[in-house]
Amino acid sequence: MERVEVFFKEVEDAITSKEELENLMISSNILFESREEIIRFFEMLLKFDLRDEALNYLEDLVLQIDDAELIDGFNKLFKK
């Protein structure tokens, strides 16, 4: 299956369940335009009890970015 690229801002409000979010992650490369969008995505993952998936995304993201403030924000999210 070919994965499509979608902007998080275009699908954020449409995601209302864990299953919808899982399907989106399987079928799409999710693109973010801001730190705030990334944090909202992680909040959504945690809201739908997708902690392992959030950690996997975080591990991949940490390798791609150099943003201590953003990583600190993730640490705070995971402590909740």
Which residue type occupies 50? L
pLDDT in tens, 35-78: 889 889 989 999 999 999 988 888 777 777 767 777 777 677 66
The pTM is what?
Answer: 0.79
* Enclosing domain of residue 14: 4-79
Cα separation, 57 vs 61, whole angstroms: 6
Split into its structural domains, the chain has a count of 1
| pLDDT over 70 (residue 80) | no
Tally of helices (H runs) and strands (E runs) in the chain: 5, 2
At 5, list the tokens: 């690229």
